[in-house]
Amino acid sequence: MISEALDYIRVEVRDYLSVTDAEVSTGHLHSLSSDALNPGVRIALVNVGQETTTRNAPHVVRNASGLTEYQEPPVYLNCHLMFAFDFSAYQTNMIRLSETIELFQSKRFFDASNERPANPFPSGLDRLVFDMCSPEFEQLNHIWGVLGGVYLPSILYKVRLLKIQSDETIAGPEVTSLHVQTGFKRK
């Protein structure tokens, strides 16, 4: 699912910026400084974490025939994406950076209801919600240091609610009655 989400986002950015397919790529940021022949926008996954507010989902589901099955609840991920701009002219970097911010300001979430015919929303995804992150200078320095790259004009977004779930289920017995034992004894 992460790969499908990145591909979808890459096409959205490419089309919004009106640049060629080769000018928007996904991958490591450290290779940008050594790749002067291919300028453009690089989208890199810099962190993945679990959305903790959605952890208490039920483990029991009913299938199409009404039988009970046990299935582990989905894991919802927050993915931090860095959009780094390395065009030949610094002014072009600033323009593309502004346009990318404009894209996610005008369209904070992506799902099947607002897909474009040229880029259909992946069927395995529910919704992608974009929140801009504003790390402090020290945090930004650490991020770029860990990524091994030379600092480039960039923006960091947290993409929320990327759903990962296995289709594996285990048949369970039908619950027909409950027996409650309180531990209290009558005298």
Give residue for tokens 């790529």.
Answer: 25
pLDDT band at 34 (very low <50, low <70, confident <90, very high): low
Across the chain, what does the average pLDDT equal?
84
What is the reported pLDDT for 173? 65
Q: Identify the bridge partners of residue 160 per DSSP, sorted by sequence position.
A: 129
CA distance 117 to 69: 36
> Residue 183's pLDDT is what?
72
What is the torsional sign of CA 98, 100, 103, 106? negative
pTM value is 0.78
DSSP element (H, E) containing 43:
strand 40-50
Task: Quote the CA–CA distance of 164 and 72 in Å, as a whole number.
Answer: 11
d(CA 36, CA 40): 10
